[in-house]
């Protein structure tokens, strides 16, 4: 008898009531540790909104990091898929380019198949916007199939 496959969605950013996180310039943000040991066909779904009063937010880089242990145990094991890790972006992160139009929504998918016990999505704006009155509002959900 085959085991049913269940598609699950879960918010992976801090739960502030809306499940969103504001990402300002020159800051790297990591999501909560996501236990993925028993999931397959994993994808992070990103919905990113530009919030602008004046100026344009710096481009947003997003990537997945994997680790065999949670960050509460050690941060030494986290490594970006495609190289990098810790504060270093992978060699080819997903790049979202700002339009400069407030409330513009960008959507993106970050799928991966590499096995690990834990994952997290990392987001960074490595270049400062001028003036500093623009930012990204991000919502991230994980979907995966499990038994």
User: Residues 4-55: pLDDT tens digits?
Assistant: 555 556 677 765 556 788 887 777 888 888 899 988 889 999 999 999 888 8
Q: What pLDDT score was predicted for residue 105? A: 96
Ranges assigned E (strand) in the chain: 6-11, 20-23, 28-30, 34-35, 39-54, 60-67, 79-80, 94-96, 105-112, 118-124, 133-146
Q: Which of 16-20, 106-110, 133-137 has the highest mean pLDDT?
A: 106-110
The distance of Cα 53 from the centroid of its chain, to the nearest Å, equals: 24
Query: Residue 117: CB partners within 8 Å, gap ≥ 6?
Result: 35, 36, 37, 67, 68, 69
Q: What pLDDT score was predicted for residue 1? A: 47
Phi-psi category of residue 83: left, alpha or beta, with phi > 0 → left and psi -120 to 50 → alpha:
left
- Contact indicator for 116, 38 with CB cutoff of 8 Å: no
Pairing of strands 133-146, 6-11: antiparallel
Higher pLDDT pick, 91 / 117: 117
Phi-psi category of residue 87: left, alpha or beta, with phi > 0 → left and psi -120 to 50 → alpha:
alpha
How far apart, in whole angstroms, are the C-alpha atoms of residue 136 and residue 97?
Answer: 11
Give me the architecture of the 16-146 domain, per CATH. Sandwich (2.60)
User: Residues 42-93: pLDDT tens digits?
Assistant: 999 999 999 988 888 888 999 999 999 998 898 888 888 887 766 677 888 9
Does 2 have pLDDT greater than 60? no
Does 99 have pLDDT greater than 80? yes
User: What's the predicted TM-score (pTM) here?
Assistant: 0.85
Q: pLDDT tier at 141 (50, 70, 90 boundaries)?
A: confident
């Amino acid at each position: 008898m085959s085991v049913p496959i269940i598609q699950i969605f879960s918010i992976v950013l801090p739960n502030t009531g809306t499940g969103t996180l504001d990402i300002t310039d020159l800051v790297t943000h990591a999501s909560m540790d996501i236990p993925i040991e028993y999931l397959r066909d994993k994808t992070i779904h990103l919905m990113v909104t530009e919030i602008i009063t004046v100026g344009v937010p710096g481009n947003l880089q997003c990537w997945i990091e994997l680790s065999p242990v949670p960050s509460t145990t050690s941060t030494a094991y986290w490594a970006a898929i495609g190289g990098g890790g810790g504060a270093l972006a992978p060699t080819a992160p997903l790049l979202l380019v700002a339009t400069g139009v407030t409330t513009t929504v960008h959507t993106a998918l970050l799928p991966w198949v590499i096995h690990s016990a834990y994952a997290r999505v990392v987001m960074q704006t490595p270049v400062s916007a001028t003036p500093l009155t623009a930012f990204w509002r991000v919502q991230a959900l994980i979907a995966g199939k499990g038994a």
